[in-house]
Structure 1
């Protein structure tokens, strides 16, 4: 029998009391935990993807604030979370000026 929590993705992995999280919670946790490590508030979460082991998120951070803010230096970080939403790794994947538009 499937319970409501199992349908919502809140199943216990292997019966060990581990709670899996959904995409909205993974986004929040990725931003919070990266912020704690870097000491800067994240600007946004630009991507989230479920993996076999948990979640991978792309988090955008202001690395150097400038005036006007369109000239600030941004960085994109890949943040890896386990199925419970705990950070297991991160790396900066690129730096770019805030005013840059994708081509």
Structure 2
């Protein structure tokens, strides 16, 4: 019984902990954020995309935090050819929620591994 009373008293003393009962206070007194780290998001995004598409994610070429979570562009090997420079690659736009769970993806371009982008800086 006294344990329940002590718990209630400690919660009353720190009302911000009620919403995040599993969170720990940071050095500045704010409640720690439960969001995954950027590296965890990158690893999870690649793994989830590979599982859904069955294709190997080779690299992440774009990564940013958004209001709703995360947005990434992932380079994927779509078709392996010999020589390797002729392999077919694709860029996928991947959206994740704040917890790092994939909410959607779409292919935005396809290209041969050995080809550079046609876009040149300065519009020349």
Count of residues in correspondence between the two structures: 93
> Is 1:73 the equivalent of 2:96?
no
TM-score (norm. length: structure 2):
0.68
TM-score (norm. length: structure 1):
0.82
Mind listing any 5+ residue stretches in structure 2 that lack a counterpart? 1-24
CA RMSD of aligned residues (A): 2.0
Highest relative contact order (Cα 8 Å, sep 6+), 1 or 2? 1
What is the Cα deviation at residue 60 of structure 1? Answer: 0.6
> Is 1:3 the equivalent of 2:26?
yes
Q: How does 1:3-82 map to 2 (within 5 A)?
A: 3=26, 11=33, 19-82=34-97
